A and B are shown apart, each in its own frame.
Chain A
Amino acid sequence: MYNTDMPTRAELPSTRKLVRSTAIAAVSATAILVAVVLPAEYGIDPTGVGSALNLTEMGEIKTQLAAEAEADAARDAAARAAPATGANAATLPPAAVGVVPPPVAPLAPPAPPAPERQSSLFGAIGGLFVSSAVAQEMRQDEMTITLAPGEGAEIKLTMQEGEIASFAWVVSEGGAVNYDTHGDGGGQNISYEKGRSVSSDEGTIQAAFTGNHGWFWRNRGDAPVSLTLRTSGTYTAFDRKV
Chain B
Amino acid sequence: MSGSIIDAIIGLSVVYKALDNMGAFQRWFGFQPNTKAATVIFGLFHGFGLSTKILEYDISPDGLVPNLLAFNVGVEIGQLLVLGAILIVMGFWRRTPSFFRHAYTANAVMMAAGFVLFGYQVAGYLVA
Interface positions of A (Cβ within 8 A of B): 3-4, 6-7, 9, 12-15, 18, 21-22, 24-26, 28-30, 32-33, 37-38, 41-42, 44, 63, 187
| B5 part of interface (Cβ distance < 8 Å) | no
Query: In the complex, which residues of chain A have a beta carbon less than 8 angstroms from the beta carbon of B28?
Result: 15, 18
Those 9 A-B pairs whose CB atoms lie nearest each other, nearest first: A29-B115, A25-B112, A25-B111, A33-B119, A12-B23, A12-B27, A29-B112, A29-B116, A21-B108
Q: Please give, as numbers and ranges, the residues of chain B lying within 8 Å of A24 by CB-CB distance.
A: 108, 112
Complex CA distance for A12 and B94, rounded to whole angstroms: 17
CA A187 to CA B59, docked complex, whole Å: 10
- With both beta carbons as reference points, the residue of chain B lying nearest to A70 in the complex is identified as B128
Which residues from A are CB-within-8-Å of B119?
Answer: 29-30, 33, 37
Task: Across the interface, name the chain B residue whose C-beta is closest to A63.
Answer: B127
The residue of chain B having its C-beta at the shortest distance from the C-beta of A41 within the complex is B120
**Interface presence of B124 (CB below 8 A):** yes
Encode B16-41 as 1/0 by CB contact (under 8 A) with A: 00110011101110001001000000
Chain A residue at minimum C-beta to C-beta distance from B111: A25
Given contacts A21-B111, A22-B111, A25-B111, contact A42 B123 (CB under 8 A): yes
A26 to B35: give the CA distance in the assembly, Å: 24
Interface of A is mostly: helix
* Bound Cα distance A22, B119 (Å): 15
Across-interface contacts of B116 in A (CB, < 8 A): 29, 32-33, 37
B19 and A6 contacting across the interface, CB-CB below 8 Å? no
Alpha-carbon separation in the docked complex, A12 to B30 (Å): 11
Q: Which residue of B lies closest to A15 (CB)?
A: B27
**Sampled A-B contacts (25; CB under 8 Å):** A4-B94, A7-B23, A7-B26, A9-B26, A13-B24, A13-B27, A18-B24, A18-B28, A21-B104, A22-B24, A24-B108, A25-B18, A25-B108, A25-B112, A25-B115, A29-B116, A29-B118, A32-B116, A33-B115, A33-B116, A33-B123, A37-B120, A37-B123, A41-B120, A187-B60
Check B115–A26 contact: CB distance below 8 A.
yes
Give bound CA distance, A44 to B60, whole Å.
36
Q: CB-CB < 8 A to B94: which residues of A?
A: 4
Main secondary structure of the interface of B (DSSP, over half): helix
- Do B23 and A33 touch (CB < 8 A)? no
Q: Give A19's nearest chain B residue, CB to CB.
A: B24
The residue from A3, A25, A38 contacting B123, defined by CB atoms under 8 A apart:
A38
- Chain B residue nearest to A3 (CB atoms) is B35
Taking the closest CB of chain B, its distance from the CB of A66, in whole angstroms, is: 8
- The reply to whether A32 and B60 form a contact with Cβ atoms under 8 Å apart is no
- Please, which residues of chain A bring their CB within 8 A of the CB of B123? 33, 37-38, 41-42, 44
CB atoms of A33 and B111 under 8 A apart: no
**Chain B residue at smallest Cβ distance from A66:** B128
Pair B120/A13 contact, Cβ less than 8 Å: no
Question: What residues of chain B lie closer than 8 Å to A63, measured between beta carbons?
Answer: 127
In residues 77-128 of chain B, which contact A (Cβ within 8 Å)? Answer: 94, 104, 108-109, 111-116, 118-120, 123-124, 127
- Give Cα A14 to B114, complex, Å: 22
Closest residue on chain A to residue B11 by CB atoms? A29
- Find out whether the CB atom of B27 lies under 8 angstroms from the CB atom of A14: yes
Q: How far is the CA of A44 from the CA of B24 in the complex (A)?
A: 34
Which residue of chain B has the shortest Cβ distance to A36 in the bound complex? B116
